[in-house]
Structure 1
Amino acid sequence: MDIERLANDSGMLVVLDGRIGRVEYKSVYGSFQALQRFADNLLQSISSETSDDRADRPLHRDY
């Protein structure tokens, strides 16, 4: 899951504040509505990942 992409897709602005070595420091800005869209998109992403995981597993086990 690319959380930065989720933020951008939700209408939030992701700003690179600085870089020290290989570590990047970023800030995220946006409206309350953008934050709500981000939360909705995050829940949807988690839900789809969970259902994908369930589809990969057998429905029952034979012991």
Structure 2
Amino acid sequence: MDVLKIAEEAGLSVLLDGRIGRQEYTSVSGSVAALLRFAEAIRADSTPQARAPERT
């Protein structure tokens, strides 16, 4: 699950603040509506139906 990609798709602004060695520091900001969309996307992605592999 790419949390930062989901945040951007929900309408949040994702900014790379800095990098020290291999560690990246990122800020995420946005509206409450965008936060709610992000939370719903995470919830939907973490349900057992979303993670279950398709049977063929």
TM (norm. structure 2) is 0.87
TM (norm. structure 1) is 0.78
Q: How many residues align?
A: 53
Q: Report the structure number with the largest CA radius of gyration.
A: 1
Residue 42 of structure 2 is matched in structure 1 by: 42
Is 1:25 matched with 2:25? yes
> Percent of pairs identical after alignment?
43
5+ residue gaps, structure 1, are: 57-63
In terms of fraction of residues, the more helix-rich structure is 1
Per the alignment, in what secondary structure is the counterpart of residue 46 of structure 2?
A: helix
Per the alignment, in what secondary structure is the counterpart of residue 14 of structure 2?
A: strand
Moved over 6 A (4+): none
